[in-house]
């Protein structure tokens, strides 16, 4: 599991782990039934505090994204689709906010921006 | 693993009202500190803030002038053997005997510790790529740090104390130091207390942090809570302001004219209401890093740079 932690951006590390696992699940990179690394292994891989990884896993479990089995392993939940649609939209909403803020600074109208998104979409399809 | 929250154990380190004066300089000013079992506790501060002086009190190398220091519930000055046998320590200047060879250092240190784990020491030596026949005085800075860490770790101490562990080290050795911290605390019930002026390092591995400025602890708490209660707001005013806007929760304000950015501490909702009362609109809101929080708390423009 490839996660990237950047301590300098002010987002608590447990939250970075939660967000990135959600993103990996949402984008299908992690599939239902897949086992996550143990807390200790992930802590050593990312060089972060094991308590932080434990907290991130607890949040993911609380959110229904992962389940603990046999008391030890942590697996991506197979109950239902990985991410609820609302959760997926939440991830995109943050990016949309950043795009809108940029557009406002650059004095680009919303309609122009939407046209641009359509145009880029078309370019990516071809 | 999260023994800080669910363990009935008493804290590993308790410091109450500790003050220390060196001649006219107040090196420690009424410091209070609690370190729970199983935590990684990061002590942040610029050089000269009092970090090493505080660590010397924890190790019993300095006697409390006023206030008290307890480690495992014991006074480290009155009971040095009982305390130090359970502590692994790496000093900032890695004071190791230069004339010894690496294998001699290992054998020599082993003699002081009943709980010495020979196999573990050998594993660390191989992992750190230390030549057993090399003289300490001929080791590079990185090798010296690793030799110091090896002898601090190999008796599997309950408390690992590291004073500026990565000071003057290259990124590769710095990472090895951090990995050692992570592995130590991953062993159930072990506690790490370390000082650093490298805030990204503290941010990466700590559960709790304390920030020291001129002998005082100016901020102490769980790292997550500190990060989540501090953020940066950019305010836009309808007319230019001649001076920075001021609110009790603004730690540091920069900007000019119509737009000002404040590093704030507090609840988001209250700050939004307060900004509205000032007649301002919030145009941007971003997370603040520990670095920025520290600088704002220090209240100076002096930046905390790595000494590499």
Per-residue pLDDT tens digits of chain A, which is 126 residues long:
888 888 777 788 999 999 999 888 877 788 888 889 999 899 989 999 998 999 999 999 988 888 888 766 888 887 545 556 777 788 788 888 889 988 988 899 999 999 999 999 898 877
Q: Which CATH superfamily is domain B3-221 in?
A: P-loop containing nucleotide triphosphate hydrolases (3.40.50.300)
Chain A environment of B286 (Cβ under 8 Å): 10
Q: List alpha helices for chain B, DSSP H.
A: 3-6, 51-58, 80-84, 102-110, 118-127, 141-153, 171-186, 199-205, 223-229, 268-277, 290-298
Tens of pLDDT, residue by residue over B248-280, are 888 889 888 889 999 999 888 888 888 888 888
pLDDT of residue A83: 58
Question: Quick one: CA dihedral A103, A106, A108, A114, positive or negative?
Answer: negative
Chain B environment of A48 (Cβ under 8 Å): 182, 204-205
Count the Cβ atoms, other than its own, within 10 Å of residue A96.
13
Q: Do A101 and B207 touch (CB under 8 A)?
A: no
Token reading at B298:
């220090």
Tens of pLDDT, residue by residue over B163-179, are 998 888 888 888 888 88
Rounded to a whole number of angstroms, the distance between the first and last alpha carbons of chain B is: 34
State the smallest CA–CA distance between residue B83 and chain A in angstroms.
Answer: 25
pLDDT of residue B301: 33
Domain boundaries in chain A? 7-76, 85-125
Tens of pLDDT, residue by residue over B214-243, are 999 999 999 989 998 998 889 999 988 888
Q: Is B129 exposed, middle or buried (0-12, 13-18, 19+ CB in 10 A)?
A: exposed
Token reading at A38:
């143990």
pLDDT confidence bin for B306, thresholds 50/70/90: very low
* Mean pLDDT, residues B79-101 taken together: 89
Q: Is B14 exposed, middle or buried (0-12, 13-18, 19+ CB in 10 A)?
A: middle
* Mean pLDDT, residues B94-107 taken together: 90
ipTM of the complex: 0.70
What is the distance between the alpha carbons of residues A24 and A42, in angstroms, rounded to a whole number? 15
Q: Do B185 and A49 touch (CB under 8 A)?
A: yes
Rounded to a whole number of angstroms, the distance between the first and last alpha carbons of chain A is: 31
Q: Do B40 and A10 touch (CB under 8 A)?
A: no
* Mean pLDDT, residues B286-294 taken together: 88
Note the pTM of the prediction, 2 decimals. Answer: 0.79
The answer to whether B203 faces chain A, any CB pair under 8 Å, is yes
Answer yes or no: is pLDDT of B302 > 80: no
Q: What is the mean pLDDT of chain B?
A: 87
pLDDT of residue B283: 87
Collapsed DSSP state (helix, strand, coil) of residue B217 = strand
Collapsed DSSP state (helix, strand, coil) of residue B240 = strand
Answer yes or no: is pLDDT of B46 > 80: yes
The answer to whether B285 faces chain A, any CB pair under 8 Å, is no
Q: Do B228 and A50 touch (CB under 8 A)?
A: no
- How many residues are present in chain B? 308
Q: Do A10 and B286 touch (CB under 8 A)?
A: yes
What is the distance between the alpha carbons of residues B39 and B116, in angstroms, rounded to a whole number? 23
pLDDT of residue A118: 93
pLDDT of residue B257: 87
From A10, A14, A48, residue closest to B287, measured CB to CB = A10
Domain boundaries in chain B? 3-221, 227-298
Interface of chain A toward chain B, CB-CB under 8 angstroms: 5, 7-14, 39-40, 43-44, 47-52, 54-55, 101
Answer yes or no: is pLDDT of B4 > 50: no
- Cα–Cα distances in angstroms (integers) from residue A50 to residues A33, B170, B188, in the given order: 23, 24, 11
Residue holding tokens 């603990």? A68
Residue holding tokens 């591995």? B205
Count the Cβ atoms, other than its own, within 10 Å of residue B281.
12
Chain B environment of A49 (Cβ under 8 Å): 40, 182, 185, 204-207
Four-way CATH pick for A7-76: 1.10.10.10, 1.20.1250.20, 3.30.365.10, 3.40.50.1580: 1.10.10.10
What is the distance between the alpha carbons of residues B201 and B304, in angstroms, rounded to a whole number? 13
- How big is the A-B interface in CB pairs under 8 Å? 74
């Amino acid at each position: 599991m490839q996660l990237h932690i950047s301590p300098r951006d002010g987002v608590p590390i447990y939250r970075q782990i939660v967000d990135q696992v959600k993103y990996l699940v949402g984008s299908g990179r992690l599939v239902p039934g897949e086992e996550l690394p143990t807390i200790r292994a992930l802590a050593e891989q990312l060089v972060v505090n094991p308590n932080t990884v434990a907290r991130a896993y607890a949040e993911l479990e609380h959110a229904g994204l992962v389940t603990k089995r046999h008391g030890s392993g942590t697996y991506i939940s197979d109950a239902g689709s990985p991410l609820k649609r609302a959760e997926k939209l939440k991830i995109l909403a943050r990016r949309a906010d950043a795009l809108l803020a940029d557009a406002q600074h650059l004095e680009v109208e919303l309609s122009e921006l939407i046209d641009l998104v359509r145009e880029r979409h078309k370019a990516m399809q071809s | 693993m999260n023994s800080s929250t669910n363990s009935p154990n008493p804290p590993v380190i308790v410091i109450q009202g500790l003050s220390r004066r060196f001649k006219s300089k107040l090196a420690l000013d009424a410091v209070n500190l609690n370190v729970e079992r199983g935590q990684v506790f990061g002590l942040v501060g610029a050089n000269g803030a009092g970090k090493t002086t505080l660590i010397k009190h924890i190790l019993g190398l300095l006697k409390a002038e006023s206030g008290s220091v307890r480690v495992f519930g014991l006074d480290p000055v009155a009971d040095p053997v009982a305390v130090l046998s359970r502590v692994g320590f790496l000093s900032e200047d890695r004071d190791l005997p230069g004339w010894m060879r690496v294998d001699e250092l290992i054998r020599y240190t082993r003699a002081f510790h009943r709980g010495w784990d020979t196999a573990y020491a050998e594993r660390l030596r191989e992992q750190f790529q230390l030549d057993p026949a090399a003289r300490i005085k001929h080791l590079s800075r990185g090798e010296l740090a690793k030799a110091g860490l090896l002898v601090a770790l190999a008796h599997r101490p309950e408390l690992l104390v590291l004073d500026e562990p990565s000071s003057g080290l290259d990124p590769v050795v710095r990472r090895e130091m951090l990995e050692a911290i992570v592995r130590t605390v991953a062993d159930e019930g072990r506690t790490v207390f370390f000082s650093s002026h490298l805030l990204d390092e503290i941010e990466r591995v700590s559960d709790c942090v304390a920030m020291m400025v001129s002998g005082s602890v100016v901020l102490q708490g769980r790292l997550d809570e500190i990060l989540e209660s501090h953020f940066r707001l950019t305010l836009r005013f309808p007319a230019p302001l001649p001076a920075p806007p001021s609110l009790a929760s603004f730690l540091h304000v920069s900007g000019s004219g119509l737009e000002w950015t404040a590093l704030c501490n507090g609840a988001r909702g209250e700050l939004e209401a307060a900004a509205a009362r000032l007649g301002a609109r919030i145009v941007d809101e971003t997370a603040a890093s520990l670095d920025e929080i520290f600088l704002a708390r220090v209240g100076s423009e002096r930046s905390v740079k790595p000494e590499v």
